Amino acid sequence: MTVAILISLIAIMTTAGLFAAREDDDPLQGLKAWILTSAYWLLTLTVAFEMAAGGLWDLLRIEYVRVVLTHLCYPLYLLYIIGAPRIPCALALLAPRFPRLKEWAYAGAFFNYAGAAASHLLAGDRGGQWMGPLVFSAFTLASWALRPASRRLPRLAPAKKMRIFAWSVPVFMVTAMLVFAFITLPKGAPPQ
């Protein structure tokens, strides 16, 4: 019953997204454009729904997420830290305009799912535990790649030819920072 309602809701919202695409100066032209726009909205709505529902679950600290976080050896207050930004992330993915904010929302969603997959994998969980977040990572990347022009950052001027020196200086600086950090490793427990 719940699954049927969820699928119906996503189908209705995907249809609404298709109609919204016509309003966003992204006219549908042909079957290929219709398929790509449908895929974009289906993936985006799925990711946005998971972000909104997951954020609510985290903020309410329901038993399901408490058990998962305890199993992964994370403190329960982390639910507030990762739960609070998930709801605005869902809104940013669905709202028109604000392309830079959308870029940050996509990055946050991807890091959230990739971090969840890595946590389960590193905790030694079975594939079923880390495969879900990995699939949502892929959905996030696919939604980002399929987004219409009205939801993208404007194209900048082509980049100038990059010289090797432009890369060697930052690489040298970060290498020096890592060496210094290694040399100055703190000894013992942190001060209380």
Please give the biggest Cα pair distance in the chain.
66
Mean local confidence (pLDDT), 75-104: 94
Q: Are 113 and 133 in contact (CB under 8 A)?
A: yes
pLDDT at 21: 58
With a cut of 80, say whether residue 156 has pLDDT above it. no
Domain extent listing, the chain: 2-153
Q: How does DSSP classify residue 125?
A: -
- Helix 99-122 and helix 86-94, axial crossing angle in degrees, nearest 10: 130
With a cut of 70, say whether residue 24 has pLDDT above it. no
20: exposed, middle or buried (Cβ count in 10 Å: 0-12, 13-18, 19+): middle
Mean local confidence (pLDDT), 17-43: 71
Main-chain dihedrals φ then ψ at residue 83, nearest 5 degrees: -80, -40
CA 155 to chain centre: 22
With a cut of 60, say whether residue 82 has pLDDT above it. yes
pLDDT at 155: 78
Positive or negative: CA dihedral 79, 130, 126, 63: positive
pLDDT digits (tens, 9 = 90+) for 106-119: 999 999 999 999 99
Q: Dihedral, CA atoms, 174, 180, 184, 186, nearest 10 degrees?
A: 10
Q: Encode 39-80 in three state secondary structure.
A: HHHHHHHHHHHHHHHHHHHHHHCCHHHHHHHHHCCCCCCHHH
- Predicted structure pTM score: 0.78
